[in-house]
Amino acid sequence: MTHYDVARSALPYVAAAAVSWYFYKLFVAPFLSPLRKIPGRPYKPIVGNMLEALNAEAMDNTINWMTEYKSRIVRFYFLYGECRVLVADPELVRHVMITNSKNYLRPASRSLASIVPGFILLLDGEEHHALRKLINPAFNSTSTNEFIPIFEETARKVLNLWQQEVEKNGGKDAQVPAQSHMANLTLEAVCRCGFDYDINSVEDPDHAGVQSFQRMLAGLQIK
């Protein structure tokens, strides 16, 4: 028997194993996941709940599902039977982000992590814990309380822009690019709180500084 023959006779077994594995993953595993105990959408084979999810605006599904299930934690199925969980309860967020963060790894962009090694938002486990302890004094309640007026002021700018859109529309519903506004709001708040620099990215998004920041973020694919 040559290697070729061995490979050929093994082929049906490999194919059968692959088919059973996919069958298990797509049609069995979703019904065995312990996450099924969390209220959420019923499983649709292969596509999960993604058709429904893609038909709505980014946050709409989260809000609708949480309202429907009267729960601040809901489960849905991503493609190929993969369970995903959405949380909106401060205690749960605390559990994931702080008390038990070691068990929740970040799906960080590896390319970004290699460009900025040690960037705290991309670290996991022990490294993250150690670095956070180091910078914690900068985020004590006294200093974070000073951020609140800045957050408020920046949020008001966005609300004003939304108000203007509604007024332009004669007081009726208006569509706003909420996600883009939120990105610009975040940039402005971070620049003011972190660097004491007013980049004014909400009201003046075409400013050169804002543009170059956005280009950099786009290049790093973390937008």
Taking alpha carbons only, the member of 30, 90, 40, 35 closest to residue 62 is 40
CB of 155 to ligand NAG, least distance (A): 14
Work out whether 181 is an interface residue with ligand NAG (CB under 6 A).
yes
Q: Determine the size of the site formed for ligand NAG (CB under 6 A).
A: 14
- Amino acid identity at 222: I
d(CA 207, CA 192) in angstroms, rounded, equals 16
Candidate ranges 21-29, 32-40, 53-61, 133-141; the one touching ligand NAG (CB under 6 A): 133-141
To which H or E segment does residue 77 belong? strand 73-77
- In DSSP terms, 77 is beta-bridged to 83
- List the x/- string, 139-178, binding to ligand NAG by CB under 6 A: -x-xx---------------------------------x-
d(CA 116, CA 220) in angstroms, rounded, equals 10
Work out whether 2 is an interface residue with ligand NAG (CB under 6 A).
no
Among 50, 162, 205, 209, binds ligand NAG (CB under 6 A): 205
To which H or E segment does residue 76 belong? strand 73-77
Contacts to ligand NAG by CB under 6 A: 137-138, 140, 142-143, 177, 180-181, 184, 201, 205, 210-211, 214
